[in-house]
């Protein structure tokens, strides 16, 4: 899954989640440490790790990373919680109109497909239905807009708004913003 783009604006928890999911690798650990320091986390190993470069010995990077987590009392994240945390990031971006709903959810779809989880496992079924509805109409598959009194573009826009609404509700239910 390493080919996924991880935005630099993610928090420490989000970057730790991306690391757990394989979206970030050992070479990204110094950047993760810098994010932690920027957010006010501090420990001797975290400072040392932040001073390393991505090209330094990956065994040393991993060693200082594990020590920093211990010193900070941060438990390693499990796959499901990490996935939810990453999806919360993208959902928040969509809800706050920093990402187009369809394109942002496409990123969520790619991330989810690279895991063993399904939409129902994280209660995103309604959002997935909206996403697929947009995909079908946009690609001239099913003509879901016919009979609704909406043009193709109006249907897509209305469904994007429904997707935003469903993501907002999901964020509320999962403790997001």
C-alpha distances (whole Å) from 130 to each of 94, 111, 123, 148, 166 are: 14, 17, 14, 15, 9
Question: Residue 60 pLDDT more than 60?
Answer: yes
Q: What is the pLDDT of residues 19-33, one digit of tens each?
A: 999 999 999 999 999
**Is 159 a member of any domain?**
yes
In terms of domains, do 96 and 39 share one? no
- The reply to whether 94 and 67 lie within a common domain is no
Residue 140 has pLDDT above 80, yes or no: no
Which pLDDT band holds residue 167 (cuts at 50, 70, 90)? very high
Query: Is residue 79, in this structure, part of any structural domain at all?
Result: no
Q: What is the pLDDT of residues 83-93, one digit of tens each?
A: 999 999 999 99
Q: What is the mean pLDDT of residues 160-176?
A: 93
Q: Looking at residues 154-170, what average pLDDT do you find? A: 94
Is 115 within the bounds of a domain? yes
Domain closes at, from 23, 48, 72: 72
Domain count, the chain: 2
Q: Indicate whether 31 and 104 sit together in one domain.
A: no
Packed helices 58-72 and 29-38: angle between N→C axes, nearest 10 degrees: 30
Residue 131 lies in a domain: yes
Residue 4 lies in a domain: no
The mean per-residue pLDDT over the stretch 103-125 comes to: 95
- pLDDT > 80? residue 135: yes
Q: Does residue 1 fall inside a structural domain?
A: no
Residues 105, 43 share a domain: no
Is residue 3 domain-resident?
no
Tell me phi and psi for residue 118, to 5 degrees. Answer: -120, 165
Q: Residue 102 sits in which domain range?
A: 85-174
**Which pairs from 92-96 meet CB under 8 Å and 24+ separation?**
92/171, 92/176, 92/177, 94/163, 94/164, 94/167, 95/164, 95/167, 95/168, 95/171, 95/177
Residue 1: predicted pLDDT: 46
Residue 147: the pLDDT is 65
Alpha-carbon distance values, 112 to 3, 59, 84, 107, 109 (Å): 14, 29, 10, 9, 5
Query: Are 157 and 105 within one domain?
Result: yes
């Amino acid at each position: 899954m390493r080919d996924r783009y991880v935005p630099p604006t993610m928090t420490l928890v989000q970057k730790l989640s991306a690391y757990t999911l394989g979206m970030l690798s050992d070479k990204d650990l110094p950047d993760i440490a810098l994010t932690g320091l920027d957010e006010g986390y501090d420990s001797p190993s975290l400072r040392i790790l932040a001073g390393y470069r991505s090209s330094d010995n990956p065994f040393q990077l991993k060693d200082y990373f594990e020590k920093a987590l211990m010193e900070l009392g941060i438990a390693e994240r499990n796959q499901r919680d990490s996935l939810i945390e990453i999806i919360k990031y993208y959902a928040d971006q969509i809800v706050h109109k920093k990402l187009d709903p369809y394109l942002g959810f496409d990123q969520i779809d790619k991330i989810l497909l690279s895991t063993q989880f399904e939409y129902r496992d994280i209660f995103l079924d309604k959002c997935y239905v909206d996403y697929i509805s947009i995909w079908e109409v946009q690609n001239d598959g099913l003509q879901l807009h016919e009979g609704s009194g909406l043009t193709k573009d109006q249907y897509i826009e209305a469904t994007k708004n429904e997707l935003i609404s469903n993501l907002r509700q999901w964020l509320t239910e999962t403790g997001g913003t």
